[in-house]
Every structure is written in structure tokens, then in C-alpha cells.
Amino acid sequence: MRNSCTLVTHRILTWYGQHVHFLLMTSPRPGLTWPLLLLLISTLMSGCSALMSRATGGMAANLSAAILNQSDPETVRDGVPAYLLMLDSFVAGAPEDVAMLSAAAELYAAYGVVFVDDPERAKRLTRRSWDYGQRALCNANADTCGMAKLHLREMQPILDTLDKEDSAPLYTFGLSWLAYIQAHSDEADALTRLPQATVVMLRTRELDPDYRPGQVEMYLAVLNTIRPPALGGDFTAGRAHYERAIELTGGRDLSVQVKFARYYARPLYDRELHDQVLQQVLMADPVEPSLTLSNTLAQREARILLSNADEYF
């Protein structure tokens, strides 16, 4: 394990040494270069060894908090693309590293869904996220390789063989799949895979109820309400998941309420619920440990949804 950590650390520093001038010259926010590099190092290296953990643990926590607590989304938007390329480089150097594949999958999913307005670009980025998510799970458990291509009845027996150790890569697999489906929602083939993505998240919750429970419930809610009831959406289950996610997060994750308004209240044409939920979002303080960035984005989206509500309803 230590040799693996040393090799990856060497690759990181070598890559950065070769490209630091390019990054500093082209990054719109060069001040983020070193902090994000260190964040990536500490994140990808976490768990490699007790020594590495002690050396980087405090720094990783502080840098991660700085990003998640950023109240200016543009700073994050401008800084991320260079690090997507860097993660690609790391994956190329360690193509079977589950942690690295998972980190790339989740970052591509977040950037493609949250920060990209061009639909075609969002499709490309989430397609890469989905590829990384599949590879992460496959390398964590060989029995799951190719599982995404299976029908639900063929997938379920494989999911039943997984254990708690598989919950993290399975979560990444489900998250990247949902991001792909959201970006490709105009394609019938993507939407037909919603039941498979749903059972993946359900199985993640079964394997480890304490692993990102609020996020798992939120994604289950979206999976159940991304289609209208006439096309197979289960809005009764979806509402239960939204309410459970709000309960688990203590209402502090404003993105849950915004998704509740967008994917539940709007399709049901429930204007009262829609406006009530979004007004609560706007009245909330977005500053919350580890949620400031997502809350700031949620409030922006809430304002947009309210501003065009008359046209929608």
C-alpha cells in the first residue's frame, strides 16, 4: 500500500511540475492552483497509510472545508476544469485505482450537472463521469463488471452479493449514472435505465445506512420524480424520500428543497407547495458548514424558479 501511495504521489508531483506554468498562465483563478492540488493529493491519498493520514489529514479537512464553504460559485466554476484534466491524467497513470476513479467520476458528475449550461457539453462530461463510475465499481468488485448493461432482473442477483465494503463505489456508480440520466433525459434509452439506477441507490442504503444518508435519499427522490407519473414516476415514494432527506439534513441542505420544488411540485402543478418551499429556501441562511457552496447555488436556482413560476403554472 505504501509503495502504491508513493507512486501516485510521485505522479501527482511530476505532472504538476511539468504543467505548473501552463496552469498558472491559463487558470482564471491561479490562486486556487496550489490549494486545489493539495486538496486532490490529500483526498486521493487518504487512507493510504497511517503516516500519510497524519501528515495530510488536517490539511485535507481545512482545504476541503474551504471549497465546500465557498460562497462564490464562479470561483469554483473557473477553477475546476484544469483539475478535471489532472484527474484524467491520474486515472491514466493508475487505471485500476478505485479511489481515483471515484474521485474523477464524482467531480465530472458535479461539474457537468451543476456548472455546465450547454446541454451537449453536459452530456459529454456526464458520459465520462458514468464511464469512471462503472470502472470504479468494476475494479472494487469484479462481479459487477458490465452490470450497467443488464436488465433489472439480471442485475439484482449481483447487487444481492455485495457487502458493506462495496457501498462507497456503489454510491459513486449510482451517482454518476443519475448524472448521466439527467444530462441525457431527452434520450429514451437513458430514461429506460431509471429502475436500475434506483435499485443501485436502494442497495447502497441497505449496505450502509450511514453512508451519505441525506444524499442517498435525495437522489432516490430525484430518481422517482424525474419522470411524470404518467410516464412511470413514483411521486408517492419520491415525496417520502424528499421528506426523509430534509429530516436527515435537518433542513440545512437547501438543494434538497429546491429539487423538491422542481421535480415534485412543478410536475404536479402544486403552485402552493412550490412557492412555499422556495420561499423557505430564500429565507434560510446559506452559510452552513460543508454546504455553503451548494446552498448558494440552491438559492440562485430558487430565485429563477420563482421568477418564471407564473409562466410555468
pLDDT digits (tens, 9 = 90+) for 134-172: 999 999 999 999 999 999 999 999 999 999 999 999 999
Tell me how far apart the alpha carbons of residues 50 and 54 are, in angstroms, rounded to a whole number.
6
Amino acid at residue number 306: L
- Dihedral of alpha carbons 100, 103, 109, 114, sign: negative
Task: List, for the chain, all residue ranges whose pLDDT scores fall below the cut of 70.
Answer: 1-70
Q: What is the pLDDT of residue 212?
A: 92
Q: What is the pLDDT of residue 244?
A: 96
- The three state secondary structure string of 44-64 is HHCCCCHHHHHHHHHHHHHHH
- Let me know: does 43 contact 60? Beta carbons within 8 Å: yes
Domain-wise residue ranges, the chain: 1-71, 72-312
Give the relative orientation of helices 33-45 and 50-68 as an angle to the nearest 10 degrees. 130
Taking the domain 72-312, which CATH number applies? 1.25.40.920
Q: What is the pLDDT of residue 68?
A: 66
Q: What is the pLDDT of residue 298?
A: 95
Q: What is the pLDDT of residue 85?
A: 85
- Let me know: does 292 contact 69? Beta carbons within 8 Å: yes
Tell me how far apart the alpha carbons of residues 177 and 193 are, in angstroms, rounded to a whole number.
9
- Let me know: does 166 contact 141? Beta carbons within 8 Å: yes
Q: What is the pLDDT of residue 146?
A: 94
- Let me know: does 64 contact 8? Beta carbons within 8 Å: no
Q: What is the pLDDT of residue 26?
A: 45
Cell representation of residue 40: 486532490
Alpha-carbon distances of 156 from 195, 198, 205, 265, rounded to whole Å: 11, 11, 15, 31
Q: What is the pLDDT of residue 286?
A: 94
Cell representation of residue 141: 468488485
Q: What is the pLDDT of residue 197?
A: 92
Q: What is the pLDDT of residue 167?
A: 96
Q: How many distinct helices (H) and strands (E) make up the chain?
A: 16, 0
